[in-house]
Chains A and B, each alone.
Chain A
Amino acid sequence: MANIIKLIIEREYMTKVRRKSFVVMTVLGPLLFVGVFGIIAFLASVNKDNKTIVVYDETSLFVDTFKSDDETNYIYVPTTDIISVIDDVKKNSYYGIIHIPFKYNNIDSIASSVEFLSDDTPSISVTRSIENRIKDKIRDVKLVELGTSSDIVSKASVTVNMRYVNYNGELKNSDIGGIQIAIGAISGILIYMFIFIYGVQVMRSVIEEKTNRIIEVIISSVKPFELMMGKIIGSALVGLTQFTLWTIFSSVIFSFAKGYFGLESPSEQMLADSTPEINNRMQSLLASLFEIDFTLIIGAFLFFFLGGYLLYSALFAAIGSAVDSETDTQQFMLPITLPLIIAMYSGFMVLENPNGPVAFWLSMIPLTSPIVMMARIPFDVPTWEIVLSMVFLIIGFVLTTLLAAKIYRTGILMYGKKPTYSEIWKWIRHS
C-alpha cells in the first residue's frame, strides 16, 4: 500500500511539475513579486517627493519655525507682494504657500487667520504638521507675553519617547508592531493563496481522471482513498517545490536588482547617513527583529501551511469527484471558499487586536485557524493556544478527510446529472 501511494504521488508530482504552466508560474512568480514590490517602493518614493512650501510671513515671528527636512523644503520669501509670490509658486509648481498675515502681531488674530494657499487640497499630514508648528510657536510667544521668561520657555520644551513594556517589566520595542503586522499579514496571505491555488489543482486533477474515464481502471488497482491521498500529497509537494523555487529565485532577483541599481541594503545606508536619530531608529528596528522568535514562526508557518492545505484539498477533492466538469463546481465551492474568505478578512481585525475574542476563536476553528493563527503568531500567542489550535487542526483534517473520502468513493463513479446536496449527504450516510 505504501508503495502504491508512493507511485501515485510520484505521478501526480511529475506530471504537474513538467507542465508548462508550472514552469511559467515558477519563473514569473518571483518576477511578479519583485515587480509588485518595486512598484510599491516606486510609488512610495514618488509620494515622498520633496515638497517645496513657500512661507509668506508678514509677522516675522516665525523665522525659524519651518525648518527644511528630507520631505519638505521651506522657502521664506520677502513679504512685498503676495500676487507675484503666487505667480512664482505656480510657475515653479511648488506645493503651496503658508500665509501668516500681519494683524498688528496680535497673537490671537494671527492664530485664527493663518492661511494655506494651494490649487490642490493639501494632504492632512502636511497641514497637521504646519498647524502644530504654528501652535507651538504661538504658545511660546504667548507664554513670554504672559510673563514667562523666554529662557524658561525654551527649557520647558521636552520630547517624549514612550517605552513599551509588558506586564513582566520586559522592554518591548516600539517598532515591533509594524514588523509583526507585516509577518502576520504575509504568512496569512501566503497560506490563503497556497490553499486556493493547490486545492483547486487537486480538484481539477480529480475531475480530469473522471472525465478521462481512467478512474475506473485506476480504482480497480488501488483503493479510492489511496488515490485521493496520493493526489493530495503529490500536489502539496508540487506546492512546496514551487514555494522553495520562488524563495530562491526571489532572493537571486533581489540581489541582482540591488547590484544593478546600486542600492545598498538599508542598514548600511542608514549607518552611512549617521544622523544619530536615524541611527537609533535603525538599531531599534534591528533589535525588534531579533526579538521575534523566527524559529517558532517558521515552524508554525510550515505546520499551518500544510495542515490548512491538507484539510481544504480533501474537500476540494470531494467536490471534484461529485461533478463532471469544472463549470459544475461553482455551487459546491461556496461552502469551502466562504470560511477561507472570512479567515482572510477577519485577518485584518486580528492584526489589530491579536488577542481578542475573534482572533482567539477563529484561530481554534480548523477551517479558519491556518490563516488566523498565522496572523496572530508573531504577537506572542500563549503556547497552550498554539498547541490546542494545532491539535484541532489535526483532528479537523482527519475528520474532513474521512468525510471527503466517502463522497469521493461514490462520486467518482457517478456520471450524468449534477448531484444535489441531499444526494451527497446520502452518499456520506450510505458508504
Chain B
Amino acid sequence: MNLIQAKNITKKYQTKTALDSISIDVERGSIFGLLGPNGAGKTTLIRIINQIIAADSGEIFFDGDKLQPKHISQIGYMPEERGLYKNMKVGEQALYLAQLKGMSKQDARTKLKYWFDKFEISTWWDKKIQELSKGMAQKVQFIVTVLHEPKLLIFDEPFSGFDPVNAEIIKDEIIGLKDKGATILFSTHRMESVEEMCDHICLIDDSKIVLDGKISDIKRSHRDNQYEITINEEDFIGLDNLKDFVSVLSNKPNRNFKDQLDLTLRITNNIVPQDLLKSLMTLGELHHFTEKIPSINEIFIKHVEKSFE
C-alpha cells in the first residue's frame, strides 16, 4: 500500500518546466530517496507534496485520499534551507512550531522533553537560536520536524550541515523512525547514505524521471557481468587463454602486495560466473573474486551524463 501516490505532476514556472508529468509511489514504511542534480525539480516536487505550491496538473493521494490541507499535520518537513527564529528561545520556538502542526501545548511539551533528553540538549531550552552553533540548530530543527509523529517525513538534504558524528546520529534516528512505522521521503546528493538507507529511489533529471525502482532491482538491472579479481602478477599472462569470453577492463597493482594485480573483468553473456571462477582457478593463486555491482553513485552519474549527451 502506498502512502503517497503522485500522478502525472506537472509544474511550469514562467520560463522553464520544473516537473514534466512525474509519477511516484512511496510505499508505506519505506525510505524513498529522491535523487537528481541541482535544478532537476526535486524541491519543487517536495513543495507540491507539502502543499506549499500547487501543481499545474496531476494529482496526489495521501493514504488513499486526495491530498488536502488536513494532511498537513501528518507530514513533517525539513527543508534544505534550514531556518529558525534567531531571537526566539529554543523551547518556546519548538512549542510554537509544534502547535502550528496541530499539537496541544501540553503534548508538545512532553514530547519535546523526550527528544531533548535523547539528544542531551535539555540545557538549551532557554537559549536563543543565535547563541547556538549551526549543527546545534540543525538538531533542534530535526526534533521540530519529527515531533508531531507524522506518517510522512520529508527531508530535503537531511545531512547537509551536520558533522559526520551528528550525521550518523540523524541517520540512525531516521532509520529508527522508519522502524516505528513512519514513511520517509528524502532528497540528497550523498549517494552513500542512499545506499545505506533507501529502499526505493527515484532519479529525476531535467524535470523528468530517468530511473525509478527498488534499490535491489535497480542494482540488479545495472549489473554488467563485471568481476573484480586479485591474482599474482606472474599469472596475468594466462588470461590470454580466456580472451574469447573475458575482457580486461582495468589493471592495477595491488595496494598491499606489489606482486599482485587487481583486475576488473567482463565476461560475455553466454557464460556464468562459475565458469569464470573455474577458469581463473586454473591460472594459479586467486586472492580475491567478487562480482562488481555498480554503486548508486555510478548509476547516478551514468544516467545524468546520458541525458547530457
- Residues on A lying within 8 angstroms of B by beta carbon are 4, 7-8, 11, 15, 208-209, 212-223, 413, 426, 430
Which residue of chain A has its CB nearest to the CB of B101? A221
Q: What's the least CB distance linking B267 to chain A, in Å?
A: 50
Residues of chain B at the chain A interface (Cβ within 8 Å):
14, 47, 50-53, 69, 72, 75, 77-79, 81-88, 96-97, 99-101, 141, 144
What is the minimal beta-carbon distance from B4 to any residue of chain A, in angstroms? 15
A324 to chain B, nearest CB (A): 12
Closest beta carbon of chain A to B18's beta carbon, Å: 12
Q: Give the CA-CA distance A391 to B247 in the complex, in Å.
A: 85
Which one, A8, A212, A222, A413, contacts B84 given CB within 8 A?
A212
Q: B53 near A413 (CB under 8 angstroms)?
A: yes
A-B contacts besides A7-B99, A213-B79, 4 pairs, CB < 8 Å: A217-B77, A219-B52, A223-B69, A430-B14
* A–B Cβ pairs within 8 angstroms, 10 of them: A15-B85, A209-B83, A212-B86, A213-B82, A213-B83, A216-B79, A217-B77, A217-B141, A413-B47, A413-B52
B72 touches which of A208, A212, A214, A220 (Cβ 8 Å)? A220
Find chain A residues with CB under 8 A from B144 CB.
Answer: 217
Task: Report which residue of B50, B78, B100 has the largest number of chain A beta carbons within 10 angstroms of its beta carbon.
Answer: B100
Which residue of chain A is the closest to B96 with respect to CB atoms? Answer: A11
> In the assembled complex, which residues on chain A have CB atoms less than 8 Å from the CB atom of B51?
220
Chain A interface mostly: helix
**Given contacts A212-B84, A213-B79, A220 and B99 within 8 Å (CB-CB):** no
User: From residue A11, how far is it (CB to closest CB) to chain B in Å?
Assistant: 5
Collect the chain B residues with CB atoms within 8 Å of residue A223's CB: 69
B98 CB, min distance to chain A CBs, angstroms: 10
- Say yes or no: B50 contacts A214, CB within 8 Å: no
Closest to B156 in A: A216
Closest 7 CB pairs of A and B: A213-B83, A214-B83, A221-B100, A213-B81, A216-B79, A220-B77, A212-B83
The answer for the CA separation of A79 and B77 in the assembled complex, in Å, is 98
Instruction: For the complex, give the distance between the alpha carbons of A215 and B53 in Å.
Output: 13
- Contact in complex: A216, B83 (CB < 8 Å): yes
Residues of B within 8 A of A8 (CB): 100
What is the bound-complex CA distance between A223 and B51, given in angstroms? Answer: 9
Are the C-beta atoms of B97 and A221 separated by less than 8 Å?
A: yes
Contacts of B96 in A (CB 8 A): 7, 11
Whether the Cβ atoms of A217 and B97 lie closer than 8 Å is yes
CB proximity of A292 to chain B, nearest CB, Å = 45
Contact between chains at B14 and A222 (CB < 8 Å)? no
With the chains together, A217 CA to B81 CA distance in Å?
A: 9
Task: Tell whether, in the assembled complex, residue A221 and residue B83 are in contact, meaning their CB atoms are under 8 Å apart.
Answer: no
A-chain residues with CB within 8 Å of residue B52 when the two chains form the complex:
216, 219-220, 413
B83–A217 CB distance below 8 A: yes
Look across to chain B and name the residue whose beta carbon is closest to the beta carbon of A7: B99
